[in-house]
C-alpha cells in the first residue's frame, strides 16, 4: 500500500511537471520554459537549414539541436503516458493511456519525434517522414495554458462550431454546383482546360474563395456570365464564417464586460492551517472530519498542488488547508471575491464545470439560503447564490507566507 502511495505521489508530481501552465514550483516552471525553448529551437533550426549558406556553415549544429530536442520530445511523450491516469481520472491505467494516445495532443506529441526515427527502418519513406515533422509545430498550442486570451480563440471556435460547419457545408455545395455548371458550359469550348469535373472544381474553389489564379477561366459568354454570378456569391459566402467568428469574439467580450458590471465584489478573509505531526485529522477523509457549523475546508494544498476538497480526499501530514467560516470575518487569507448572482448573471443556471472562467481561478465556496455548499462540478448555480472565487496567483503569494 505504501509503495503504491509513493508511486501515485510520484505520478502526481510528474503530471504537474509536464502539464503546461502549472507553475507552482521551480521545477515545473523550468520544465515549461525548457519545453517551449526546445520546440522553438527545433523549428528555427529546421527553417534555417533550408538556406544553403547557413546549412553549409552551421549544418552540424542544426543536426545536434535536432537530435537533442527530438530526444526530449520522446521523453516528454513517455512521461505523459506514465501520468495518463492523472489526466484522465476515473479510468483504468490502460484506458487512460489509450485516451491520451488517441487524443489530438497525443497524436501531435507522437509525431513530434517518431518521424525522426522512422527513416532508419523505412528509408523509402524518408521524404514523407520529413514532412510529418512539421506537425510538431502544433505543440506550440500548449502555451494557451499561460494565457486566457489565447484560450479565447478556442472558446469561440468551440461555441460556434455548429454554425461554422453549416457555413462550410453550404460553401462545399456551392463549389460542387458551380463546378458542374461551368464544366457543362465550357467543356466543349475548352476541352483541354475544363477536362473533367475536378478541373472545374479547382476553378470554382479559386473563384469562390476569391483567390482567382487565372490559370483556368471561362471564355464563352454564358461561362463568363456564370463566373460573374459565382464570384459575387463567393464573396458573400466567405464573409459568413468570418462574420460568425467575429460575432463570437464580440460575444466573449460582452460576456466579460457583463461579468464586471453585474457582479458585486467584496473582500472576504479566510484562515490558513497546516497539518502537523500528531494532528487528529491525519488519515481522515474530508467527509469524516467534523467541522463546526457554518465552516468548510475550501482548499487543500499538498506539495505545491492545489486541490478542491472532495469528500474522499485523505488529509496527510504536511497538508495546508484553507478554511472558511461563514461567521468569520477575521483571518489570514485576503483578496477572495464574493460574486452574488443576479437574475441576468451569465452564470445563473449554469453548472460549475461548464463555466467559462480563468484556469487560474478557483471557486472555493458557495452560499445558498444561508447554507454552505461545496462547489461540485455538476452543481447548478442559481439566482441569489454567493460564489466565493480565488485566483491561483493570490494563493501562491499567500502560501509563501508563514502559517499562523
pLDDT for residue 64: 92
From first to last of its 404 residues, the chain has per-residue pLDDT tens of 555 677 778 888 888 888 765 556 788 788 888 888 888 888 888 888 888 888 888 889 988 998 998 899 899 999 999 988 888 877 888 888 898 889 888 888 888 888 878 777 776 666 666 666 677 777 666 665 555 556 677 778 778 888 888 888 888 888 888 888 888 888 888 888 888 888 888 888 887 776 666 678 888 889 888 888 888 887 777 788 888 888 888 877 766 555 544 444 444 456 677 787 777 788 888 777 766 655 677 778 877 677 766 667 788 888 888 776 554 434 434 455 677 887 777 788 888 877 766 555 667 778 787 677 777 777 888 888 888 776 655 544 444 444 33
Q: Where are the domains of the chain?
A: 2-146, 161-261, 263-399
Among 283, 312, 313, residue whose Cα is nearest residue 301? 313
In this structure, whether the domain defined by 161-261 belongs to CATH 1.10.287.70 is answered with yes
pLDDT for residue 402: 42
Whether the CB-CB separation of 301 and 319 falls below 8 Å is answered with yes
Sign of CA dihedral 327, 329, 334, 336: positive
Q: Say which CATH superfamily domain 263-399 falls into.
A: Regulator of K+ conductance, C-terminal domain (3.30.70.1450)
User: Rounded distance, CA 356 to CA 337, Å?
Assistant: 17
pLDDT for residue 404: 36
Q: Which long-range contacts (CB under 8 A, 24 or more apart) does 182-190 make?
A: 182/218, 182/223, 182/226, 182/227, 182/230, 185/218, 185/220, 185/222, 185/223, 185/226, 186/218, 186/219, 186/220, 186/223, 189/219, 189/220, 189/223, 190/219
pLDDT for residue 159: 80
Q: Do domains 161-261 and 263-399 have the same CATH topology?
A: no
pLDDT for residue 263: 45
At the topology level, CATH places domain 2-146 in 1.20.120
pLDDT for residue 333: 43
Is the pTM higher than 0.85? The answer reads no
pLDDT for residue 355: 77
Amino acid at each position: 500500500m505504501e509503495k503504491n502511495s509513493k508511486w501515485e505521489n510520484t505520478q502526481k508530481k510528474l503530471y504537474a511537471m509536464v502539464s503546461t501552465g502549472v507553475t507552482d514550483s521551480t521545477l515545473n516552471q523550468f520544465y515549461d520554459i525548457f519545453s517551449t525553448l526546445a520546440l522553438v529551437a527545433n523549428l528555427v533550426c529546421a527553417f534555417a537549414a533550408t538556406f544553403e549558406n547557413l546549412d553549409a556553415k552551421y549544418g552540424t549544429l542544426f543536426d545536434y539541436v535536432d537530435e537533442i530536442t527530438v530526444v526530449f520530445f520522446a521523453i516528454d511523450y513517455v512521461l505523459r503516458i506514465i501520468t495518463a491516469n492523472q489526466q484522465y481520472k476515473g479510468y483504468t491505467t490502460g484506458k487512460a493511456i489509450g485516451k491520451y494516445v488517441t487524443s489530438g495532443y497525443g497524436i501531435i506529441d507522437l509525431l513530434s519525434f517518431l518521424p525522426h526515427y522512422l527513416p532508419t527502418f523505412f528509408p523509402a519513406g524518408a521524404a514523407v517522414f520529413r514532412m510529418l515533422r512539421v506537425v510538431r509545430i502544433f505543440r506550440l498550442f500548449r502555451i494557451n495554458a499561460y494565457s486566457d486570451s489565447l484560450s479565447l480563440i478556442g472558446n469561440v471556435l468551440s461555441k460556434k462550431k455548429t454554425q461554422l460547419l453549416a457555413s462550410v457545408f453550404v460553401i462545399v455545395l456551392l463549389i460542387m454546383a458551380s463546378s458542374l455548371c461551368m464544366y457543362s458550359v465550357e467543356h466543349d469550348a475548352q476541352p483541354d482546360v475544363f477536362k473533367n469535373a475536378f478541373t472545374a472544381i479547382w476553378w470554382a474553389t479559386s473563384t469562390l474563395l476569391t483567390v482567382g489564379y487565372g490559370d483556368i477561366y471561362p471564355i464563352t459568354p454564358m461561362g463568363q456570365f456564370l463566373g460573374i454570378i459565382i464570384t459575387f456569391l463567393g464573396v458573400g459566402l466567405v464573409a459568413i464564417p468570418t462574420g460568425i467568428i467575429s460575432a463570437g469574439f464580440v460575444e466573449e467580450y460582452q460576456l466579460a464586460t457583463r461579468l464586471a458590471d453585474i457582479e458585486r465584489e467584496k473582500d472576504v478573509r479566510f484562515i490558513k492551517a497546516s497539518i502537523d505531526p500528531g494532528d487528529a485529522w491525519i488519515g481522515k477523509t474530508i467527509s469524516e472530519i467534523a467541522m463546526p457549523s457554518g465552516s468548510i475546508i475550501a482548499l487543500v494544498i499538498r506539495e505545491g498542488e492545489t486541490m478542491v476538497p472532495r469528500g474522499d480526499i485523505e488529509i496527510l501530514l504536511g497538508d495546508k488547508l484553507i478554511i472558511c467560516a461563514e461567521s468569520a470575518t477575521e483571518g489570514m487569507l485576503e483578496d477572495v471575491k464574493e460574486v452574488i448572482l443576479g437574475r441576468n448573471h451569465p452564470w445563473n443556471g449554469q453548472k460549475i464545470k461548464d463555466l467559462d472562467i480563468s484556469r487560474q481561478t478557483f471557486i472555493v465556496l458557495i452560499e445558498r439560503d444561508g447554507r454552505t455548499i461545496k462547489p461540485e462540478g455538476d452543481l447548478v448555480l442559481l439566482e441569489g447564490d454567493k460564489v466565493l472565487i480565488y485566483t491561483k496567483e493570490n494563493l501562491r503569494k499567500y502560501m509563501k507566507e508563514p502559517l499562523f
